[in-house]
């Protein structure tokens, strides 16, 4: 699946609805310090279900909502949508026949989270399930940030194993087994 665009609204510095398009397989986000490049990465991680405020460079989960700047007042909610091209039918399961897959997350000031899959309300779990075993996901190796390579090199074997299992595509099955055992 190829990422077609990211739609941001009320998220961190992106107060007004903004669409970032990725028209080809290779894209780059460039700009001066503080213009919001890392906020875009935070947005991708967040919409895929990230539940740690620290991993989003904040203290509380509602810190992702635009909290005012200059003459602009804070807003009441943040929303991020990712649109993927699934015309090659890479996604298995219920959504395999959809040419486009959209995932969206919304959070309100009260801290209520809502998830949507192709516009339909769903659980966080439905979103994380899509990315399990693909290498993409809130804490996957698909997002390599500053310091991550050295963290990987120095990682304890049990932490390294998580990455290897994800690359081998078996984390999905382990997750399902854990689910069944917990039922
Ligand atoms: P650098 O090149 O230094 O890494 P960057 O382009 O990655 O910069 P970001 O870290 O994405 O920049 O953006 C930082 C900006 O986002 C800051 O100006 C900060 O005030 C703003 N920002 C972060 N969270 C919020 C928020 N909740 N509301 C409003 N603005 C925010
Ligand atoms: Mg940055």
The residues, any chain, with a CB within 8 Å of residue 9's CB and separated by 6 or more, are: 15, 16, 17, 18, 78, 79, 80
ipTM of the complex: 0.98
Model confidence over 108-127: pLDDT tens digits?
999 999 999 999 999 998 99
147 appears as a binding residue in the annotation: no
Buried b (16+ CB within 10 A) or exposed e, 70-105: eeeeebebbbbbbbbebeeeebeeebeeeeebbbbb
Residue 56's alpha-carbon distances to 15, 40, 65, 121, in angstroms, are: 17, 11, 12, 24
Chain-centre distance of CA 156, in angstroms? 25
Residue 52 annotated as binding?
no
pLDDT at site 138: 64
Half-sphere exposure of 77 (CA within 13 A, CB side): 10
Q: Determine whether the shortest distance from the Cβ of 39 to ligand 1 is under 6 A.
A: yes
Distance (angstroms) between ligand 2 centre and the Cα of 42 equals: 10
- Cα–ligand 2 centroid distance for 163 (angstroms): 24
> Is residue 49 a contact partner of residue 138, using CB atoms and an 8 Å limit?
yes
Q: Are 78 and 72 in contact (CB under 8 A)?
A: no
Please identify, by atom number, the ligand 1 atom nearest to the C-alpha of residue 35: 6
Residue 33, annotated as binding a ligand: yes
Cβ(12) to ligand 1 under 6 A? yes
Distance of CA 134 to the CA centre of its chain: 13
Query: What pTM does this model have?
Result: 0.89
The secondary element (H helix, E strand) that includes residue 50 is none
Which portions of the chain are predicted below pLDDT 50?
none
Residue-level pLDDT at 104? 98
Which bound ligand lies closest to the C-alpha atom of 8? Answer: 1
pLDDT at residue 139, as a whole number: 64
pLDDT in the model for residue 168: 85
Q: Whose CA is nearest to atom 13 of ligand 1?
A: 36
The residue assigned the tokens 């909502």 is 65
Report residue 95 as tokens.
């959504």
- Separation of CA 96 and ligand 2 centre (Å): 35
Q: Is 118 within 8 Å of 102 (Cβ atoms)?
A: yes
Ligand 1 pocket mutation, candidates 8, 15, 38, criterion most atoms within 8 A of CB: 38
């Amino acid at each position: 699946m190829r990422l077609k665009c990211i739609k941001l609204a009320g998220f961190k510095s992106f107060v007004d609805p903004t669409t970032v398009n990725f028209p080809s397989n290779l894209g780059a986000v460039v700009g001066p310090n503080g213009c919001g490049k890392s906020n875009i990465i935070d947005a991708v991680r967040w919409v895929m279900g990230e539940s740690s405020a620290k991993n989003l460079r904040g203290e509380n989960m509602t810190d992702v909502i635009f909290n005012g700047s200059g003459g602009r007042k804070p807003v009441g909610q943040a929303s991020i949508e990712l649109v993927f091209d699934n015309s090659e039918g890479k996604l298995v399961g219920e959504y395999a026949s959809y040419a486009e897959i959209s995932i969206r997350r919304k959070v309100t000031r009260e801290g209520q989270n809502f998830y949507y899959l192709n516009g339909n309300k769903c659980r966080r779990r439905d979103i994380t399930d899509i990315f399990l075993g693909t290498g993409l996901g809130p804490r996957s190796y698909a997002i390599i940030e500053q310091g991550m390579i050295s963290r990987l090199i120095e990682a304890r074997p049990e932490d390294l194993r998580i990455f290897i299992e994800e690359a081998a595509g078996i984390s999905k099955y382990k997750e399902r087994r854990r689910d069944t055992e917990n039922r």
